[in-house]
Amino acid sequence: MRDILARIAAGEVIVGDGAWGTMLIARGLKPGAPPESWNLERPDAIEEIARLYVDAGADFVTTNTFGGSPARLRAYGLEDRAAAINRAAVEAARRGAGDRAYVAASVGPSGQLLKPYGDADPDDLAASFARQIAALAAAGADLIVVETMTDLVEARLAVSAARREAPGLPIVATMTFDRTRRGFFTVMGVSIAQAAAGLAEAGADVVGSNCGNGVEAMLAIAREMRAHTAAPLAVQANAGLPESRGGALVYPESPGFFASWVPALVEAGVGVIGGCCGTTPDHVRALRDAVGLARPG
């Protein structure tokens, strides 16, 4: 496959996959259980989900390693199995994707607060991210996706670790913003302008936002981010904000509604469009069709 950054530079819009948690829960993942444990216990399910997303038209599938850093696995007594968990995730995603899509290694936040807000030491988290990313790269991931970050310091630690441990692999880095009366900020107070500059400075090739918002709000975020960076942009929106219906959480945005925003996202300069919480292969299929119609030129 052609280099993903070259494809974006040539004007191609890359379609990402959708939610993994949503798909795992539908297959029996218990509340409170670490999703990453399924990489060893249920690799067949991981392979199946990857295949479903590629069949739907995804250009890349993310690995089931969002919480796969040793620092985050420590809460479940799985820190010593971090390398095996991350390796198994890449291998299962590769079996599902075959040679039809890239395997994007997911790196999520540690779940800890850095000093002075919490007890986490930056050097410890940097080492944790380095261990995870080294395992992902050694297993054959095609790119690194640092995602759902709210602390720019932690995001930069992860991006820098990716640049060191996976030299040559493209790095996508996205943060999660909330709409406030003063505009969009992460819960740690990071603005879109600060995120765009900080992620690129740390070594990210593609910057953007994922999670926390439906697709309409993501368009506003993308437009503001484009005003502050010339880097390629990535957007992976939720299928809306979850609503309680009949005692269950439901994400309200249909595949058709979700995909209807693709032309505006492309016009705003977004080069990578995928889904986050609540999105399914049906959302990705609709994205694929919409991207085909909205492709520049």
Indicate which CATH number applies to the domain containing 126.
3.20.20.330
One-letter amino acid of 134: A
Domains in the chain, number? 1
Residue 35 pLDDT > 60, yes or no?
yes
* Beta bridge partners of residue 283, listed in sequence order: none
Calculate the average pLDDT of the chain. 96
- Burial string for 173-205 (b: 16+ CB within 10 Å, else e) reads bbbbbeeeeeebbbebebbbeebbbbbbebbbb
Q: What is the pLDDT of residue 297?
A: 45
How does DSSP classify residue 120?
B
As a whole number of angstroms, the distance between CA 132 and CA 63 comes to 12
* Beta bridge partners of residue 125, listed in sequence order: none
One-letter amino acid of 189: G
Q: What is the pLDDT of residue 177?
A: 98
Across 99-114, average pLDDT: 97
Across 226-250, average pLDDT: 92
Tell me which of 250 and 228 has the higher pLDDT: 228
Residue 296 pLDDT > 80, yes or no?
no
User: What range does the domain containing 174 cover?
Assistant: 4-294
Q: What is the pLDDT of residue 32?
A: 92
pLDDT tens figures, 140-182: 999 999 999 999 999 999 999 999 999 999 999 999 999 999 9
